Amino acid sequence: MDQRMAKHSPRARDVNHSNVLQREHRAVEEGTGSAVTRDFYCHRCSCKVTEYAHADGRAEELADVALYLCRTCAAEAQRKGTETVGEYRILQRLGRGGISVVYKAWHAPTCRLVALKKVVPESSSREGAEEVFQKEVKVMQTLIHPHIVRLIDYRMVEKPYYLVYEYLPNGDLYTYVQKHTVSVTDICRIFCQVLEGLEYMHRKGIVHRDVKPHNILLTLDKKAKLGDFSCVKNLHEDGILKGDHGGLPFLTPEEILNHDYVKSSTDVYAVGVSLYYILTDTFPFHFASPEEIIKAFLIKKKPKDPIDMVLQHKKELESELRRVIGNSILREDRILIQSYRKDIPATLAAIIDKSVAKNEENRFKSAQEMREALVLYLTDECASMKRS
């Protein structure tokens, strides 16, 4: 076994990354003394699972993030022919990205509910897929914060490669607001938490690069946690992975012009676009929809079989989509948020419009600056409500 493999062997992996996570956990929880043994309960039926929760010795370390499912409830949740990945049993598919798929899973020894991110079979042999996962692991081992999703486990020695994160039952912010009514004030509080997580990351020289509503996850009590670090960049390291940008509409004009442009302020811009999008269900600039782009493409090609043409020219269509959206980000004037939402208070509208400004010099320079502006707005809003 070579030195690299020995370092990442299952036994060494569990010990090493557990130690790192525990050290970071103690560092952020100031004033904690010796660990206190507590009871843990099933997330669904509330029966006690304490004995199982302590099986791997990490129950206290993960007490603030772990959810549990007793064996009876887990058996009911599992479908016939349930896939097993290591010690984890797949319960439900949650989503898919470029090289990975995310599942809700159950850790049999501890009864812990988790989100398991696995490299999809067609990507596991692709150049760079392993490197992306390795990079994510390396960064996530250093990030322990209340508003950043917690890495719990991983396997990078043998296929299938996977990462294991805490499970967030309320899902992503975009899907949540489609199903529930959330006040403007609560939305702003959520984004303050996202910015707080980014402040922590940026102080460490780490840029997320894929901030968007689908990557803002919600805990049981609706606290925000930033997730999906597959595009993450450590500014203290040299080099950059190809194709590790996030969603195109959330990129700054600077990133459109220069793919290698990386600054912490680009995350802040993405937060602004995300906040704008959550409040309006649209972007702060006009661009043709994917359907319109495909229609124009087909009119130009005049194919006999449109469906076959789309399938055969998928990459060309994706390139055209990037070109159209990119040009809109670069050329289109920003649409003031009150054009869509006249009920948005002027103070808040000014914060949002500043955060998505086309010119970098007119935007917030840091996550802290934008968060402080939102906190001041929320403070004044609260005081105003009390007076009335």
- Tell me, yes or no, whether 114 and 135 share the same domain: yes
Contact 286, 334 (CB under 8 A): no
Domain for residue 291, yes or no? no
Contact 220, 170 (CB under 8 A): yes
Structure tokens belonging to residue 88: 């984890």
Structural domains of the chain, count? 2
Instruction: Please give the distance of CA 37 from its chain centroid, rounded to a whole number.
Output: 31
- Tell me, yes or no, whether 199 and 221 share the same domain: yes
Domain for residue 373, yes or no? yes
User: Strand, helix or coil at 119?
Assistant: strand
Mark which of 115, 135, 166 sits at the end of a domain.
Answer: 166
User: Strand, helix or coil at 282?
Assistant: coil
- The sign one gets for the Cα dihedral 85, 86, 88, 89 is positive
- Tell me, yes or no, whether 258 and 382 share the same domain: yes
Mark which of 128, 145, 166 sits at the end of a domain.
Answer: 166
**DSSP for 10-61?**
HHHHHHHHHHHHHHHHHHHSTT--S------BBTTT--B-HHHHTTTS-TTT
CA–CA separation, 275 and 283 (whole Å): 10
User: Strand, helix or coil at 162?
Assistant: strand
Domain for residue 341, yes or no? yes
pLDDT at 124: 52
Structure tokens belonging to residue 97: 């990205």
pLDDT at 58: 96
- Tell me, yes or no, whether 149 and 193 share the same domain: no
- Tell me, yes or no, whether 99 and 233 share the same domain: no
CA distances from 194 to 16, 107, 225, 387 (A): 28, 28, 7, 29
Tokens 């459109």 sit on residue? 256
CATH of the domain at 279: 1.10.510.10
Number of H helices, E strands in the chain: 15, 11
CA distances from 230 to 14, 103, 247, 354 (A): 21, 16, 12, 28
pLDDT at 241: 45
- Tell me, yes or no, whether 91 and 120 share the same domain: yes
Domain for residue 7, yes or no? yes
Range of the domain at 213: 173-285+333-387
Tokens 């049999």 sit on residue? 108
- Tell me, yes or no, whether 26 and 145 share the same domain: yes
Mark which of 166, 198, 219 sits at the end of a domain.
Answer: 166
Domain for residue 314, yes or no? no
- Tell me, yes or no, whether 275 and 147 share the same domain: no
- Tell me, yes or no, whether 33 and 77 share the same domain: yes
pTM for the model stands at 0.85
CA–CA separation, 119 and 228 (whole Å): 13
Nearest CA among 37, 91, 99 for reference residue 69: 91
Show which residues are catalytic: 210
User: Strand, helix or coil at 132?
Assistant: helix
pLDDT at 126: 56
Domain for residue 340, yes or no? yes
pLDDT in tens, 200-259: 999 999 999 999 999 999 999 999 999 999 999 988 874 544 445 678 899 999 999 998
Nearest CA among 164, 161, 36 for reference residue 110: 164
Contact 264, 313 (CB under 8 A): no
- Tell me, yes or no, whether 150 and 251 share the same domain: no
Phi and psi based region of residue 307 (left: phi greater than 0; alpha: psi -120 to 50; beta: remaining): alpha
pLDDT at 247: 83
- Tell me, yes or no, whether 154 and 200 share the same domain: no
- Tell me, yes or no, whether 154 and 195 share the same domain: no
Contact 211, 226 (CB under 8 A): yes
Q: Which residues of the chain have pLDDT under 70?
A: 1-36, 80-81, 122-127, 238-245, 301, 303-311
CATH of the domain at 162: 3.30.200.20
Domain for residue 25, yes or no? yes
pLDDT at 345: 97
CB-CB neighbours of 49 under 10 Å:
24
Domain for residue 236, yes or no? yes
- The sign one gets for the Cα dihedral 159, 160, 165, 166 is negative
